[in-house]
Amino acid sequence: MLKVILVDDEIQIRRGLNWKVDWEEEGFFIAGEASNGKEALQVIEEVMPDLVLTDVRMPVMDGMQLVKALSGKYPEIKVIVLSGYADFEYVRSSLVEGVKDYLLKPVDPEELTAALRKSKGEIEVEKQRRMETDRMNQFHAEEMREQYLLHLVKDEWAEKNISKERLSQLKLDVLVGEDTVVQFITVEIRSSDSEQVRDLFLPFKMLCRELSYKHEGIMSFYDTSYPNMIHFLCHHHSGGDQVPPFVQELQKNVRAYLNLETVIGLGKVVRGLSQLKNGYISALLSWSQSSADVMSQLIDGTSNKQTAEFTEDAEWKLSNSMEQGDFESFKKHLLITLAECDRQSVMSYSFAASRVLFMLGSMARKYDLYTDDLKKKMWNCQLGIWELTSRDRVKGELLDLARVIAEKVSETRHSSNGIAIVENVRRYMDRHYTNEISLTSLADQFHINSAYLSEMFKELIGQNFSDYLVNLRMEKARSLLMDEQLKVIEIAHLVGYSNSGYFSTVFKKRFGQKPLDYRKSMTEDKGEAR
């Protein structure tokens, strides 16, 4: 039912309006009344109606003043204006935004009914449009959140450039602070019919998202490296190792709605951003211990003892060797690291091998080496780590991968004119322009002197670093402005600006118009073209 308020200084008029039509039958109920515009604004603030019926001539604040106030503060509220004959032509010619109809007093019941039906149709269309806008905005936010989560758990340099403001924008506030306690959960769907799994993966993904909306502190995301799986990041309020309550609900819903089985791996509870990779890998390793049977399973890896840690020092030595294209150095450090873990436990060995595989994948993405052939090699290596039937096989596959990547990295870094490394920096910016990016952070990531990178970037790309980044963001913003459902503040966030005012200033400097003016001019141009 839609809410309506009646505004007229004569109580008899309000009573008359009350009985002139069957409000409920027309889909409305009278939520309040007022004797002038000032009173009406107070009532409106309390009940937030969908429609206002107001007289023109009233004391304190008249109807036209009320309409003007509403158009500024509550533009979504529709208005039907009532007037005496002397006012009627004046009111009708004053086309005020938000006024949907003008009725002459005394109001004819049939005319009032027709006006209500017309307004109801428009209100419902606009409500539907707003719902679609909210869904679209939620979709954009979800996509960006998933990308950022993957960035945090899979790229070796990610935690060095984290912006708390960016985490907040993406509703990842639970990750702010080193005291944050989180747990990753990996969920795979299974069926004896592989086509059924493929056909129902999208509904499964949507079901997971709906469940994450329902439970506070839980976010779902998809990693293309692992087919048929959805992963959850859970904010662990208690810090304990109990099974999150939504897990059983998920298994029950997937079986009930999709007729599929679920295999769930619970990762270790970890603390702080620096431990996100460990938490994610532990969930994958828990899942990998499942049987191959087509039946629902829950593998709790929270109690797995992991006595050997994959230290930052070990990761730095391996990463630095790859950055230098020095395969022999990488091989030496890898063998030492795996031998230390092997002395501890099978799980420690699997965990360390997984961390190395993540690092190699990150290196391949950074240097644009992620070909189909390399993906296949990485997947086979991942399977070897999960099965762990042979440590030598895992070692050999990691070294084969590293050799291929190190050779390509060496070619890139030692190109005679520096164009290859600058192209990789540019591609990284094209993919991650929404994140916090600075010349210094990129120089650190690519192990280059920042002054040298700045000079080479300008020489080879034709623009300095900051101009390229601004132009990249502005072109994307211009494209997003064509979607009238997106608000300017949302577009600002989508292209990497936390402050919408500053975004508007930069946009106007680049295109000579503020974002809303640009959108309006583009809309008008499209209309004329038709």
> What is the tens place of the pLDDT at every residue in 113-159?
999 999 999 888 888 777 766 565 566 667 777 778 888 888 766 55
Residue 337: what are its φ and ψ, rounded to 5°?
Answer: -60, -45
Residues 361 and 224 sit within 8 Å (Cβ to Cβ) = no
| Lowest model confidence (mean pLDDT) among 153-162, 188-197, 294-303, 396-405 | 153-162
Contact 58, 35 (CB under 8 A): yes
Q: What is the DSSP string of 244-274?
A: PTHHHHHHHHIIIII--EEEEEEPPPEESGG
Higher pLDDT, 403 or 416: 403
Cα separation, 277 vs 299, in Å, equals 19
Model confidence at 239, pLDDT cuts 50, 70, 90, reads very low
CATH superfamily entry for domain 425-529: Homeodomain-like (1.10.10.60)
Q: What is the pLDDT of residue 28?
A: 94
In this model, does residue 87 exceed pLDDT 90? no
d(CA 376, CA 366): 18
Q: How far is CA 226 from CA 129, 214, 223, 364, 413, in A?
A: 36, 25, 6, 17, 31
For 57-66, 203-212, 443-452, 519-528, which range has the lowest pLDDT when averaged over its residues? Answer: 519-528
CATH number of 177-300: 3.30.70.270
Q: Residue 217 has what DSSP assignment?
A: T
User: Per-residue pLDDT tens for 44-76?
Assistant: 999 999 999 999 889 999 888 898 898 888 888
Tell me the mean pLDDT in the region 347-369. 89
Does pTM surpass 0.85?
no
Confidence (pLDDT) at 530: 45
* CATH class of this structure's domain 2-129: alpha beta
